[in-house]
Amino acid sequence: MIRPGAHVDANGTTFAVRAPDAAQVWVCVFDPDGEARQEMTREDDWWVYRDPQDLAGRLYGYRADGDWAPEQGRWFDPAKLLVDPYAIELDRRFVQDPALATYGADTANIVPRSVIQPVRDPVDHTPPKFERGGLVYELNVRAFTKLNRAVPEELRGTIAALAHPAVLAHFRKLNVAAIELMPIIAWIDERHLPPLGLANAWGYNPVALMALDPGLCPGGVDELRDTVAALHAEGIGVILDLVLNHTGESDVYGGVISLRGLDDSAYAHAPSGELINDTGCGNTLDFAQPHVRALAVKTLRHFVAQCGIDGFRFDLAPILARGPGFAADAPIFAEIEADPLLRDRVMIAEPWDIGPGGYQLGHFPENWLEWNDRFRDDVRRFWRGDGSIGALATRIAGSRDIFGQGESRTVNFLAAHDGFTLADTVAYAERHNEANGEGNRDGHGENYSWNCGVEGPTDDPHVLAARDADIRAMLGTLFASTGTIMLTAGDEFGRSQRGNNNAYCQDNDIAYVDWDHRDIELEDFVAALSATRAKNLNHFRAFPEDGTWLTPAGDPMDAADWEREGAGAVVWTHVSTRDDETERVELDIDRTRRHAEFRKIGPREID
């Protein structure tokens, strides 16, 4: 059986890459004296070369020859150094350059080289360090610690910084169940950014799907592995946000960097031969192709086996189930479920893309969690003043209109990396993305946000008090809701992006987490909310069927109460008996008082 990529064993080093339409493929191994090319041998759709030496630590890439016919999906150009689609580490970051898309222009001095990995024993396979209903903490690795003075300067902005005692202490304070790392796979800037003096800061534009970014993870696989182990020692899981829906080779004007120069069939094409763009990035990986699914599954297996990763969040997840239309029973789901390394991992879908029928909230497998933007929008609208109490109650109760009864698969959130921060949600009625260089046309136009009377920064104490009350009310709602919850780093202490709701290209203090000006009182409030939730985690997995919704006067809510225009207060109560002791759980929501509170009343406190 062919093992894709570069592998070292007792017999030396074997290289294997898929390029079914190539006329010839070479593996290029680099040393200080230059590039040594070796012809590879075709074995069906694969090209293979076996070297008797142990080449661990050496750098390599591929070159492929054949037809140059982009209109037919053939981009073979032996002048292009190509990154192994199965690469795990790279020697440098990707950079944009016109040569990447110019036929005959050699790119050996531009394109990163892959690093041949030594043999490593897998980590012990243990259950994920995460329980449903817990707090997922989403963070951008670089932005999260870049300005944290408690972290040594040489570690700031890297994966290793997440294992620093000061960072671990912050996670513990918030009762974080798992951190969700925005992409840590090496990415390339979109073509329009370098001329604007900007850079992609989020990482949702990878080239090879499992190659760690050398800037975020200079220590490679070992650095990620050690950091995960340190987090696990604190009882904290690690979830990777993966982009398996497209690659940074982009549309037909993009570069020839990896798959495009080896096997363009990995990308989805219309019957006319044109690239399908269900991602908004110019190209879409084709999960109807078995070899694409094999690459995706191999990626997941690598991070579980070699780094101990607890789960994955999938960007634009409907792409995984397209062939070309979305199918709830797509092969990738069964393949993941059948894999012994993957079947117990936490799987989280971002359940939408921009293709036909792309909004698929509630349609992923029963053992998957799903980001719930309906929760975000309905909660924001309620506290803004134009949302209904009925919609809010439905979201708090686990969005049973979407996910059904029982243990909820929802991931509730108020804000994410994409959109306003929580603090900006109550400080800006409009987006302010001028720094992105696109005339403030990018980013979501409708954010269900409000400014409490002043757009942006203010010293008005009444406005500031109103904003603080609104933030606390929304946080109280989030931490009282059924399902898994997510908080984006810095929202616990009032982080702002100055009204920028699409800061993907702001690798600067617009997007960096400001640790020096934290609102410690708000942070302590969030920590208290999270501690209460952690103590009552079983309650938040499934909404009790026998609870009662009451008016503020204590009467059961009827249809007229739910439909009354402007209704903004409700109390939910649930009484249970365990071991002959009765306890009551209450949820108090009141828009006028800007109040949302979950409380558990013990048997000695019940009248």
Catalytic residue (one of 315, 468, 491, 492): 315
What type of residue is 509? D
Mean pLDDT of the 394-402 span: 97
pLDDT for res 576: 81
Greater confidence (600 vs 30) lies with 30
Q: Is the pLDDT of residue 602 over 80?
A: no
Task: Determine whether 315 is an active site residue.
Answer: yes
Taking the mean position of all CA atoms in its chain, how far away is CA 472? 25
CA 95, 98, 103, 109 torsion: positive or negative?
negative
CATH class held by domain 1-122+149-367: alpha beta
pLDDT for res 361: 98
Q: Give CA separation, 379 vs 18, 48, 296, 372, 386, in Å.
A: 48, 55, 35, 11, 10
Task: Determine whether 274 is an active site residue.
Answer: no
The CA distance from 167 to 48, in Å, is 45
DSSP-derived 3-state class of residue 396? helix
- The residue ranges of every structural domain in the chain are 1-122+149-367, 548-605
Please report how many Cα atoms fall inside a 13 Å half-sphere around the Cα of residue 167, on the Cβ side.
28
Q: Which tokens belong to 184?
A: 């840590």
Burial class (CB in 10 A: 0-12, 13-18, 19+), 596: buried
Q: Is the pLDDT of residue 603 over 80?
A: no
pLDDT for res 545: 86
* pLDDT tens track for 244-298: 999 999 999 999 999 999 999 999 999 999 999 999 999 999 999 999 999 999 9
pLDDT level of residue 580 (50, 70, 90 thresholds): low
Question: Do residues 408 and 400 touch, judged by C-beta distance below 8 A?
Answer: yes
pTM over 0.95: yes
pLDDT for res 227: 98
With a CB cutoff of 8 Å and minimum separation 6, the contacts of 118 are 8, 56, 57
* pLDDT tens track for 326-363: 999 999 999 999 999 999 999 999 999 999 999 999 99
On average, the pLDDT of the chain sits at 96
pLDDT for res 606: 40
* pLDDT tens track for 512-557: 999 999 999 999 999 999 999 999 999 999 999 889 999 999 999 9
DSSP characters over 203-228: ---BSSTT-B-TTT-TTHHHHHHHHH
Catalytic residue (one of 180, 310, 350, 378): 350
